[in-house]
Amino acid sequence: MRKIVLAAGLCALVIPGLALAQKKPAKVAPTVAAGPAHPGAPAATDWRSPDPENTLIIDSTKGRIVVELYPEIAPNHVTRVKELVRSGLYDGRTFFRVIDYFMAQTGDPQETGEGGSDKPDIAAEFTFRRSSTTPFQLVADQTVSEVGFLGAMPIMTQSSMLMPMTADNKISGWGLFCPGVAGMARADNPDSANSQFFLMRQAYPSLEKRYTAFGRAIFGIEAIRTIKVGEPVAEPRDRMDKVRILADIPAAERPRVRVIDPASPWFKAEVAAVRGEMGADFTACAIRIPSEVK
């Protein structure tokens, strides 16, 4: 079966406090340091246009979803997805397994979670190698690791200080499963991915380095979050009516897509504002990624 193996659930631990008979302290107004403000509207130079050859246009029953693909992170998975898009396998495929606060799974010709294409399975690409020329934008240096963005994809890598110490002058990195991230479904065998994939509705860190992240929805996250839920989903199901690669759409019909550039001043100001608000709880998943599709 190619169903996603759910990570252990999280539970909240509540410890009741002791009722102490003591004098009620006087109220003291807390001192709050004002952090950087969130930036306003991006300037024209803050945007970038994604590569049309690595951009999926998914027209679904819930609306349009645009997914940017990252061959730098998972080249074989990106190649497979594009092959299947161009073959028409994804057209009409339903979201057959959808879990709220988790993900929406699709891409199975059998619509059961047990099917795949007629192509061989793909070896896992849970991690990739980052070099000094990788277009990586740092947002948090954790000394032993670094968190940043490759395009709209949040990633974590080893410290760049290790690059000179490795045989290939590269370090290991992996995608973070933030909302909108596209991952490949698989069976228990790590090398059993084939055609099924899932789109994250919320962040789910326990998938990291256990499933291959190959893209991220840069537009349509609300559509993803409104897909009908169920395990399996009862009929009628939401579906992908048509899936195309942006480069394959005739110029006269091709939507214009742009997304915030992680190297832009706007993005850096947004990172500073989020870090100021969250402090030690800072996460790359909280950073806004504005986009436009016309």
Task: CATH number of the domain at 156, please.
Answer: 2.40.100.10
In a domain, 208, yes or no: yes
Map residue 250 onto helix, strand or coil.
coil
In a domain, 172, yes or no: yes
Beta partners for 199?
104, 182
Percentage helix, strand, coil, to 5, in the chain?
20, 25, 55
Say what the pTM is. 0.89
10 Å CB burial of residue 38 (0-12, 13-18, 19+) is middle
Q: To which H or E segment does residue 269 belong? A: helix 265-278
Please state, in angstroms and rounded to a whole number, the distance separating the CA atoms of residues 132 and 142.
18
In a domain, 18, yes or no: no
DSSP 193: B
Residue 122 phi, psi dihedral angles, 5° rounding: -110, 140
In a domain, 164, yes or no: yes
One pLDDT digit (tens) per residue for the chain, 294 residues: 455 444 443 333 232 333 333 344 455 544 445 678 999 999 999 999 999 999 999 999 999 999 999 999 999 999 999 999 999 999 999 999 999 999 999 999 999 999 999 999 999 999 999 999 999 999 999 889 999 999 999 999 999 999 999 999 999 999 999 999 999 999 999 999 999 999 999 999 999 999 999 999 999 999 999 999 999 999 999 999 999 999 999 999 999 999 999 999 999 999 999 999 999 999 999 999 999 999
Map residue 73 onto helix, strand or coil.
coil
In a domain, 39, yes or no: no
Domain that holds residue 132: 51-108+124-293
Which residues lie below 8 Å from residue 133, measured CB to CB, with a gap of 6+? none
Please state, in angstroms and rounded to a whole number, the distance separating the CA atoms of residues 110 and 179.
26
- Is the distance from CB of 259 to CB of 290 less than 8 angstroms? yes
In a domain, 174, yes or no: yes
| Longest Cα separation, the chain | 75
In a domain, 117, yes or no: no
Q: Give the β-pairing of 55-60 and 63-69.
A: antiparallel
Domain count, the chain: 1
In a domain, 30, yes or no: no
